[in-house]
Amino acid sequence: MSDPSALMTAPESGVKVRMYRQGLGDCFLLAFATGTGRPYYMLIDCGVLMGTEDAADKMRRVAESLRDSTGGRIDVLVATHQHWDHLSGFDPAQARDVFDQIEFGEVWVGWTEDPDNELAGRLRARRRTHIQALNGAVQGLRAAGSGGKAGALESVLGFFGDLGVDGKPSKIEAALAYVLGRGKPLRYRAPGELVGLPGSGARVYVLGPPQDEAMLLRSDPSHKASEVYEQRLQLTQEAAFFAAILADAPVETLIDKETRNLSFPFEEVYRVTYDAGKGDPFFQERYFGEPGKPPEEDWRQIEDDWLGAGETLALQLDSDTNNTSLALAIELSPGGKVLLFPGDAQVGNWLSWQKLQWPGEGAGTVGAADLLRRTALYKVGHHASHNATLRAQGLELMERPDLVAMIPVDEQMAHRPKGGNPDGWDMPFSPLLTRLKEKARGRVLRADTGAPAPEDLDPADREAFAKDRIETPLYLEITIPA
């Protein structure tokens, strides 16, 4: 049952923003002033990276806090995109039973989750095929004795949860399905929408995900291929990888015979099967080496080299999924302060905002640049990685002197060795963190280290900043008055 004494209140005007500290993952609870005595509650994501120690216990404590802090009702749940570190809390092994005790109003997801949208369907099928192929590569690398490369792949795939088998949904797909089923109603949000939050006076500008496939997948090589030749003369790295890893799968799963044939390095007349080569004296001596002796000819052998491309493709899949993030700019009052919640939007998503226009006051219009200039709170994208905050058309436009940045990061977890990468991920990215501190005059709240030390703050801001924030082991909270 909810604890009435734990209710999260709203300020007289504006909003309180709470960032939970479960680890490398996003979970934000917002309480907007309504003038009715009951805040309007918005929850944006709730998850933690796969592999986090005691993840289930941590997420259960977060979910129980969400239940008690809202009196058991959340007015709108925003699920930004299909990554485990944003949705894991809705998994049965973590905190789904606690979320069953919470009443939800609307659920917002990006248009990319709409089952009736043709492009969205293609994107979902593409994502699942990527994950299927990459999980196959992990097994192949382990069988070939390349545990380091396999570990590097698994670290990226940790953003997606596990892969469903026998036609069953993966954990991330099941978590999202649960979220979609809780919506009363469910809303598929598209860029250009402007949505009022009942009773609060706040309005939400929907920035992304873009509806332009080139922006969603701006590094997808298939776009270039279709512009050059009508008939393909070679495969992209991505297509060749899939053709090889799924060679034994039914053709209709991914590839046709032409694609399968193009994935080989030699024409069929020149190919020798692995088993046949093992039985041929010429290949045994010059390619495999003498049985029972040190493998002096290892450098010639290429059977498993193609598996190493998997890490590059896994990182591309991660970026493509981040680009489907539901990105929101929340305006507290007309022409006033803005909260920017971009999910994990990367370059293509950010750039697409520049074309959007909304009706403004009088005969004017509102664009993304204006919303960024008025940003008073920035939820830093993708744990402050190097490629999820635009510079000239992003952070540099945020010019308010009272800017606050919140980073849902666990640097220790991010820096754990990942397969062949002994330093892990560079989160937070040092040059970005430095610039965030400069732009926010030290007001940078991190899930792992908490609030900044007094000496990190501009002297004029210390007292006000201390008054406006709360820090507990479970969460960090900041008040943004309207």
Q: Given this model, what pLDDT does residue 292 score? A: 61
Is 2 domain-assigned?
Answer: no
The answer on 44 and 152 residing in a single domain is: no
What CATH number corresponds to the domain at position 58? Answer: 3.60.15
Q: Of 127-136, 166-175, 431-440, 455-464, give the range with the top mean pLDDT.
A: 431-440
Is residue 32 over pLDDT 90?
yes
The answer on 408 and 343 residing in a single domain is: yes
Token pair 């670290």 is found at 155
- Could you tell me which residues come within 8 angstroms of residue 464 by beta carbon, excluding any fewer than 6 positions away? none
Which residue stretches of 353-454 are H helix? Answer: 368-373, 411-414, 430-439
Is 139 domain-assigned?
Answer: yes
How far apart (Å, rounded) are the C-alpha atoms in residues 376 and 421? Answer: 36
Least confident of 177-191, 275-289, 320-334, 346-360: 275-289
The answer on 364 and 456 residing in a single domain is: yes
Is residue 324 within 8 A of residue 209, CB to CB? The reply is: yes
The answer on 237 and 91 residing in a single domain is: no
pTM of the model: 0.79
Is residue 46 within 8 A of residue 61, CB to CB? The reply is: no
Q: If pLDDT is split at 50, 70 and 90, which confidence band does 50 have?
A: confident
DSSP letters for 154-198: HHHHGGG-PPP-TTPPPHHHHHHHHHHHT-SSEEEE-TT-EEE-T
At 296, which amino acid appears?
Answer: E
Is 304 domain-assigned?
Answer: yes
Q: Given this model, what pLDDT does residue 36 score? A: 86
Mean pLDDT of 80-87: 93
Mean pLDDT of 193-202: 95
DSSP letters for 77-101: EE---S-HHHHGGGSTTTTHHHHTT
Is 241 domain-assigned?
Answer: yes
Pick the more confident residue, 317 or 281: 281
Domain that holds residue 440: 7-121+177-217+317-480
Calculate the alpha carbon distances from 185 to 104, 267, 452 in Å. Answer: 9, 56, 40
Q: If pLDDT is split at 50, 70 and 90, which confidence band does 179 have?
A: very high
Number of domains in the chain: 2
How far apart (Å, rounded) are the C-alpha atoms in residues 258 and 260? Answer: 5
Q: Given this model, what pLDDT does residue 147 score? A: 55
Mean pLDDT of 107-132: 84
Q: Given this model, what pLDDT does residue 452 score? A: 87
Mean pLDDT of 53-75: 97
How far apart (Å, rounded) are the C-alpha atoms in residues 390 and 477? Answer: 25
Mean pLDDT of 330-358: 94
Calculate the alpha carbon distances from 441 to 285, 336, 389 in Å. Answer: 68, 20, 18
| φ and ψ of 376, to 5 deg | -105, -20
Is residue 240 over pLDDT 90?
no
Is 169 domain-assigned?
Answer: no
The two structure tokens encoding residue 401: 């002197």
Last residue of a domain, one of 316, 349, 369: 316
The answer on 373 and 341 residing in a single domain is: yes
Q: Given this model, what pLDDT does residue 221 score? A: 31
Q: What is the pLDDT of residues 91-115, one digit of tens each?
A: 999 999 999 999 999 999 999 999 9
Is residue 155 within 8 A of residue 420, CB to CB? The reply is: no
Kind and range of the H or E run holding 461: helix 459-467
- What letter does residue 299 receive in the DSSP assignment? G
